Structure 1
Amino acid sequence: MSTEEKLAAARADLATEEGVLVAFSGGVDSSAVAAIAYDALGEDAVACTAKSETLPDAELEDARRVAGEIGIRHEIVEFSELDDPEFVKNDGDRCYHCRSMRLGKMFERAAELGIPVVCDGTNASDPGEGHRPGLQAVAELDARSPLLDHDITKDDVREIAATYDLSVAEKPAMACLSSRIPTGIEVTEERLTRVDKAEALLRGWGFSQFRVRDHDGLARIEIAPEELEEALDIEFVRATRAHMNDLGFEHVTLDLHGYRTGSVSPEGADPATETETDLLDTQYPTVE
């Protein structure tokens, strides 16, 4: 089945509903769902973003902007994952607890608005991409996943987003800030804040695909391979060390493996490959 046919099927499916609330992060997946829902239902479709400490400020602004591009009504609900001790301890089920809370807030707002269906942005490529405990929460809460239901893969999603002329069609993947903290290290507001500020610096310096992992005071910077050469520039080394130290990181490293999704998750990269010899520590070059 072509992407166009999958899109038509998803739109027709949603058009049978009285109303739909889309769990909306402003990323390409949820933006595609929001665009399809609005196309199918018009004012009976609502996008809803959950604002918490784990959502980067830049992502909330993107969500507002993309909702405007679509024309869909945009609701914001606020909560704190840090209120849940199970989330804070950051074990292998952190994403399950996070998704449960976020979707729970979506169902609450949907009930307030009299909307019978809550949709999320899980696509057909997600179930096969490693450790995804958050998908369990989607199933337990009985949220609809139109992309998954109609076999719409990640590549299809980007094509659909381009069809709707969305600015996020080629936007890199963006997980919540807690994904930057390795499993077993508690998630705290301090760590989330300094990661958010550190990544804002890299974004401001022109990098597009990266992560700043917080190893309890050590910042491990992952940069996409095609951008790694710029990160090896000695002026970048100086500036990064100074700014990251100001944010509260005691040590600053550049991971020579480059950017990898899930590199601190329970089933991410093999820990044996992530030794200190693979890190370029910007503390030790003498560049004064």
Structure 2
Amino acid sequence: MTSVETKLEAARADLASRDGALVAFSGGVDSSVVAAIAHDALGEDAVACTAKSETLPEAELEDARRVATEIGIRHEIVSFSELESDDFVENDGDRCYHCRTMRLGEMLETARRLDVGTVCDGTNADDPGAGHRPGLQAVEELDVASPLLAHDITKDEVREIAERYDLSVADKPSMACLSSRIPTGISVTEERLTRVEQAEAVLRDWGFDQFRVRDHDGLARIEVAPDELEVALDPAFVEAARDALSDIGFEHVTLDLHGYRTGSVSPETDGTDASGRDVVSADVDGASVDDDVPSTD
């Protein structure tokens, strides 16, 4: 038995011992693997639950519905609004803590309503060491189970397990909530979340795979994966991006020449990225950006 098989069996046995499990389910690869293991271990006593709010792109909600059907697990959708929290809207360095506390609170309430004994999330073994992650504090405080973390299952192993379960999201890129595109200190508003969602939908429709559109108070900073930068530097793309994002409501549009990287506006940075490099952006429409201020992704 391989190391991954041993860990998978341990996680399955762990969940099988629970009095039902409700999985905080985004439809990403981590939560999908937990949902698949839970369904494997508990059958009808496993539930996937997605919290719908302004920070969840509609495309991600549709993915969650699709993957839940693929797994065969019962899927509950609950609605709430992070924008009702002044602490969240303020968007300080602990925004993810406030968000995760509210989101998991909805999961716990749903579990009580359904008489399910355990709430699980998709935190994997690599997450605690992956930069500023205040949301993990909320997981610990609310006593939410993290089977992947508990059994030392890394991100690469998560994807391997996803392939074993034949999940369509095995290779899906990471996708944090929309508020992670708004730098710390700039308030989170429905207007900003909406234009980020619309801008990223444009890039998705144009065929980009790993990307973000950061909203620096009306200035869009586009990040694409390094291997897609050549396409983004094409004059035809530059013109199309400028026009499309201007129509959406951005005043200026820039392209980050470092390409996509997680946490590029995280609390540890101040004009540099996580590796200490100066942040540089290409000016797509007459603006430039030289700050990379906090957020988490």
TM-score (norm 2): 0.93
Q: Distance in 2 between the 1:25 and 1:144 partners?
A: 16
2:220 aligns to what SS in structure 1? strand
- Offset of residue 45 of structure 1: 0.1
Q: Paired residue for 1:18?
A: 19
Cα separation, partners in 2 of 1:263 and 1:19, compared to 1, 3 Å: same
Kindly indicate whether residue 180 of structure 2 is the aligned counterpart of residue 179 of structure 1. Answer: yes
- Offset of residue 279 of structure 1: 1.3
Q: Distance in 1 between the 2:253 and 2:286 partners?
A: 10
| Residues 233-263 of structure 1: per-residue CA shift (max 9 Å, x gap) | 1111111100100111000000000001011
- Offset of residue 117 of structure 1: 0.4
Cα separation, partners in 2 of 1:176 and 1:210, compared to 1, 3 Å: same
Kindly indicate whether residue 198 of structure 2 is the aligned counterpart of residue 197 of structure 1. Answer: yes
2:265 aligns to what SS in structure 1? coil
- Offset of residue 162 of structure 1: 0.5
The answer to whether the 8 A contact 1:263-1:269 is kept is no
Q: Give the AA of the match of 1:58.
A: A
Cα separation, partners in 2 of 1:44 and 1:53, compared to 1, 3 Å: same
Q: Paired residue for 1:133?
A: 134
| Unaligned stretches of 5+ residues in structure 1 | none
Kindly indicate whether residue 138 of structure 2 is the aligned counterpart of residue 121 of structure 1. Answer: no
Q: Please, which moves more after superposition, 259-268 or 77-86?
A: 259-268
Q: Distance in 2 between the 1:91 and 1:18 partners?
A: 37
The answer to whether the 8 A contact 2:252-2:286 is kept is no
Q: Paired residue for 1:212?
A: 213
1:101 aligns to what SS in structure 2? helix
| Unaligned stretches of 5+ residues in structure 2 | 288-297
Q: Distance in 2 between the 1:213 and 1:13 partners?
A: 39
Q: Distance in 2 between the 1:154 and 1:282 partners?
A: 35
- Offset of residue 270 of structure 1: 5.0
Q: Give the AA of the match of 1:281.
A: D
In the alignment of these two chains, the number of paired residues is 283
Q: Distance in 2 between the 1:61 and 1:24 partners?
A: 12
Percentage identity across paired residues of the two chains:
75
Cα separation, partners in 2 of 1:209 and 1:269, compared to 1, 3 Å: farther
Q: Paired residue for 2:62?
A: 61
Q: Paired residue for 2:295?
A: none
Q: Give the AA of the match of 1:65.
A: R
Q: Paired residue for 1:147?
A: 148
Q: Distance in 1 between the 2:64 and 2:269 partners?
A: 28
- Offset of residue 282 of structure 1: 1.1
Kindly indicate whether residue 69 of structure 2 is the aligned counterpart of residue 71 of structure 1. Answer: no
Kindly indicate whether residue 285 of structure 2 is the aligned counterpart of residue 279 of structure 1. Answer: no
Q: Give the AA of the match of 2:218.
A: G
Q: Paired residue for 1:237?
A: 238
1:219 aligns to what SS in structure 2? strand
Q: Distance in 1 between the 2:195 and 2:143 partners?
A: 35
Q: Give the AA of the match of 1:106.
A: M
1:144 aligns to what SS in structure 2? coil
Q: Distance in 2 between the 1:243 and 1:154 partners?
A: 35
TM-score (norm 1): 0.96
| Residues 156-202 of structure 1: per-residue CA shift (max 9 Å, x gap) | 10001000000000100000000000011000000000000000000
The answer to whether the 8 A contact 2:16-2:42 is kept is yes
- Offset of residue 284 of structure 1: 3.7
The answer to whether the 8 A contact 1:89-1:187 is kept is yes
2:184 aligns to what SS in structure 1? coil
Q: Paired residue for 1:107?
A: 108
Superposition pairs of residues 256-275 of structure 1, within 5 angstroms: 256-268=257-269, 270-271=271-272, 273-275=277-279
- Offset of residue 267 of structure 1: 2.0
Kindly indicate whether residue 224 of structure 2 is the aligned counterpart of residue 227 of structure 1. Answer: no
2:99 aligns to what SS in structure 1? helix
1:266 aligns to what SS in structure 2? coil
Q: Distance in 2 between the 1:209 and 1:138 partners?
A: 27
Q: Distance in 2 between the 1:165 and 1:9 partners?
A: 20
Q: Distance in 1 between the 2:155 and 2:269 partners?
A: 20
Q: Paired residue for 2:3?
A: 2
| Residues 113-147 of structure 1: per-residue CA shift (max 9 Å, x gap) | 00010000000000000100000000000000000
The answer to whether the 8 A contact 2:25-2:48 is kept is yes
